[in-house]
Structure 1
Amino acid sequence: MPSSPVAESELGNAGNHSTFSEFRMKRAGQDFFETCRNPAACCELTLQPLRRFDLDAAIIFSDILVVPQALGMDAEMIPGKGPTFKQPLEEPSHLQRLLSPHAARSALFYVHDALRLTRHQLDGLVPLIGFAGAPWTLMCYMVEGGGSTTMSRAKRWLYQYPEESHNLLKILTDTVVEYLVDQVSAGAQALQLFESHAGCLGPSLFMEFALPCLKDVARRVQNGLRQADLPAVPMIVFAKDGHFSLQELSQAGYDVVGVDWTVRPELARELTGGKITLQGNLDPCALYAPKEVLEKKVNKMVSEFGTQRYIANLGHGIYPDAPPEGLGTFVDAVHAISRSLNACTN
């Protein structure tokens, strides 16, 4: 049950922990992406949830859009609107603006510094998770120029410029692979890949454009770790609204498949063959529920997933106004179930 993976660009709102007083104090008056480039600040913001909640892992504070930034794109976080690129990729010729994956690798040093510092500060308390946005999700932001409910501009590229779309996705895949390998070198003990815009593709486009990149990332990261004599680490893939791809994702080379709250646990087990670890999938809005209601929902979720090959988590990130008390109830309920199971086996 890791600290819930929340990237502010995923929510389209600067302030995803805004109800947490310590988070607000740390972020007060600071530009979001400047914070991401400050290893000491990222370390502190990663550790904050662990001080308040009994979590089993930590995920480094950062954002998926640091990758497009490292490739030369200028993004800013606008309060009330979310991430915005000043010059989105409007046509294939704009790909010439992008820097090389090698240049991007060097530009992301601050994330690796944050991982090293945080791993040292954790001192073995819990595992540290690194992450990145999946190529298709990153492409969406780079072409749309920000958040979108339809991703119509990005999908237009797939239909009008399929070859150039594959070229862009390859650039992003190459960059993400090196970025994730470097995260392990810097101290990450698990990796998660967020395909947050899987749902807007549908089965056909997902299988043609997104899934090959996801497979490529898993295979090449694992090979890269071996070649660099680095330890193998668990890899998690989460494709939001990608229920149609669960079977394929379970065979894509990852150790864990994240499940959003729109999928029944029994169906997720059936589609993935019951042989892979699943993570999820409480509706983040359930955190608004009264304590007794939330506890029942958590118990029902764990009962339906079963306790084997399962990581209890939310079905997506925490929303900006989520009450900390709700997250506390969720965490406590999961631990209560765990204690009960341990008592039964002893």
Structure 2
Amino acid sequence: MFVSGYNFRVIDLYDLDFSNYSQYLSAYSIKQQLEDIVEGIPDANVTVSVVGRTKEYLDLVLLKITKDKSRYFRADNEKYADDKPEKKIIFIVHGLSVMGINRIPCMTWAPSFLTLVSYYVKYLDKFDIFLIPMANPDGYALGSSYNTWNKNASPQSECAGVALDRNFDIAWNPNHSISSCSQEYPGAMPFTEAESRVIRDVFYKYSHKIVAYLNVHAGTYGIDTFKGDAVLYPKGYTDSITDEDKFIDLKGEIDEAIRNASFQVYSVAVETLFNWYGRITGSSVDYASTVYGIPFALELVMQLYDNQDVSAGTENYSDSALTEVWSRVIDVIFRYILKSIDKTNEVW
């Protein structure tokens, strides 16, 4: 099967040789890789669960990272999972949009991925972390052949693929003229895709405990296109803003943190989805915020950088962006969430 207009295969990618890239996440063996990788997360109990499969029958994996070993193991048919203890959940999704993902090491290369996860688990005393490390494995596989690919690979009327972060049931697709050949194609209706349904189901089971949802992905398809790093908040389908003061305060704290970074970046933008993209519909951030009332629904957009060495050859630009920029941004976000949900907490 071929994608109309593009000279590469949609389904039969299994002949690709990943043997020389064992440290890179593979769409075809993600569960086994993660079972090995999570052993590198210190002082944490991690369960690795397959929570769905794509049209290409690739695994959709959810990591539940906690301090305790006895939680979140009740039957799948129960509406709510485990009411005690009352620790809140931060739900994080990597790679729902896959454009440029192969050039973001912390999304695809095990050592950098573990570095990024270490910033999340720093707060396990305060939060549990639910993480989907590869939300669009079909699209990730295609992206190795075509860097601007952003959809999954499900069959459609003209061209394969649905833009997963436009497939959520919130102000969904008022423009029915969007062709399935567009990288923004939202599907024939909301939640047609297994990938978006998996995320919806996590909200359904755990929304009473989820305090934040973070959708993390690359912002561009190549290093020559510079839009910058960004933290985006609702809404995308309208220019009206709710909880504006909350996000203005968050922007101020992120700006202050970035001023202390040694990385050569002017700032990290903190904007609404609408201001960043123009009007968009069916986004997971808007769905989390509007439908389930998740207090902090954010999109973390990572800029691609040229990986030439800096710091006397010990670090490249992508490494430096992760350690100097995103370590600070994630730290600020988690601290800010903590202060917001419990004013009596002393933030260390």
- On whether the aligned pair clears a TM of 0.5, the verdict is no
- Between structures 1 and 2, the one with greater helix share: 1
In which range does the TM-score fall when normalised by the shorter chain?
0.3 to 0.5
